[in-house]
Structure 1
Amino acid sequence: MLDVAAALSGTVDVPGDLRAYIAAGLDLHEQVRTTVEETAEWPAEVVADLASVVRHAPLRPGKIIGVGLNYAEHVEESSRALDTDVQRPDRPVLFSKPTTAVIGPDEPIEHNARLTAQLDWECELGVVIGEKARSVASDQALGHVFGYCVVNDISARDQRRSGQWFFSKGQDTYAPLGPVVVTADEVPDPHALKMELTVNGIRRQNGTTGQMIFRIPDLIEDISAGVTLEPGDVIATGSPQGVGAAMNPPTFLVPGDVVVAAIEGIGALSNPVKAV
């Protein structure tokens, strides 16, 4: 692992956090990428073994916009288990998560038994916005994407309020994010990635991003029609089938569990569940 800010000190002024780096613009990113690719060897003090590094969430987004019911089989299972509409939505179903919900790799998801007995999981592709997007047409939308990450959309199913999802999905630690952000140029097709989620090593979700009802360009067009997307914002694009609420019997996360959400080409995001 290369400490880019330290390695390029005196050559390129690299911000110390990813959100500021993204906001600095594409020219900086291209300068950094070119410099790294053209440098054959680095001093030992700016290189570390990844296994020796404590990783946190790669960024604290400005906004997290979640997309509900964006996979057909998840629409069906949710209609059975969560009393949502059996019909596919004709427009994206949107909700938000506060940034205080964000945690990184290996950080614990909090299980507060006073607030929930139905703590659930959802493996999702996170889209990290790179350039400001306002009223962007779908055919221009991917040009506003900086990169991709894994998001685990944790939900307290029993904390929905009159159909509203904010408290159900927005509590502290309910947005594990990471393990890294992979830049868009490293992901040839974000709609052709395998997705998997396991709990204690047992597979619970297995799908592909190609199963999205509303694809990333359509989501950006729809959201940016009324909400300005800014550099460092994250869109969590929805989850395939296999949530705990739809299992027979329903099965939820409990303290001591370890949940791992993985997406091809990005990596695996592992988090333990801890009682609070």
Structure 2
Amino acid sequence: MEEVLSIVPSIIAEKIISMPSHIQPLIEEIRIRIDRPLEVTARGIPYFLPYVVTRKDGEQLINKLANHSFYTLEEELKRGYITIEGGHRVGLAGKVILDGGKVKAIRHLASFNIRIAREAIGIAAPLIPCLYDGGWKHTMIIGAPQSGKTTMLRDIARIVSTGFSENNIGPCKVGIVDERSEIAGCVHGVPQLQFGPRVDVLDACPKAEGMMMLIRSMSPEVIVVDEIGRQEDGQAILEAVNAGISLIMTTHGHSLEEISKRPNLKEIVEMNVIDRYIELARGDHPGQIKDIKNQAGYSLLSKVSVT
């Protein structure tokens, strides 16, 4: 939280620090809305703190994010979020400026959503016997928002990059396509989170195009991507599979059965290239396993020890 508290106005930092000590480590989001109460979400529960955000607070926050230069935020304002040191992401809302029907920028910023990036080192370790058998299996992590999909994905990427001595698995080259700067939390291209020595990141790059770029230029053994689901993702997945590259990805959903009914994801599932489906449940900790299924949809949960 140090990086986050250093960018918010001091009065907002004081309000957050004054929250009960057992809640502070569980904070997931800090929502700063001008002329509205300060909101903090912890484990999905919203807490409205006794402070109404002022326009001056918003100006101070954006000045710190921009280092007093709006020009430096030109690309971020098109995307609607800014990644800060530590891998935390600040979502933005306000007046949208269009150019030819496409978002050019966001002006008159009125809402900021600071999403706290946390690592859970070792969270994926119990899954490794299911995900590796002479090579890393193509894996899709399925979960609802804030179920820990990206947290799980990060730790799998870290294990692939560093190796897993308990199962005599050596380190592999990992390519990460981080379209929303959320997996690695790069600042100026450098990952802010732990990934081991063999990771290369394409930051703020569209997934399908990024996968092709990695295949052509970085010779990865494993490609990691977040939020699969668009039509063009399917072709990129096939290209990676045909190139002999293992894929580890996430998608929004509650179960394999559910995503199989969505047109674009149905196409990916019907390719029969995904070997493992990890279904996550929203629980007391990120990455709580609901089920693990093979390509045919049969449960493998009994083969691993998860808590």
Instruction: Provide TM-score, normalisation by structure 2.
Output: 0.25
Between 1 and 2, higher relative CO (CA 8 Å, sep ≥ 6) is seen in 1
Structure with higher helix content? 2
Instruction: Provide TM-score, normalisation by structure 1.
Output: 0.27
Structure ID, larger Rg: 2
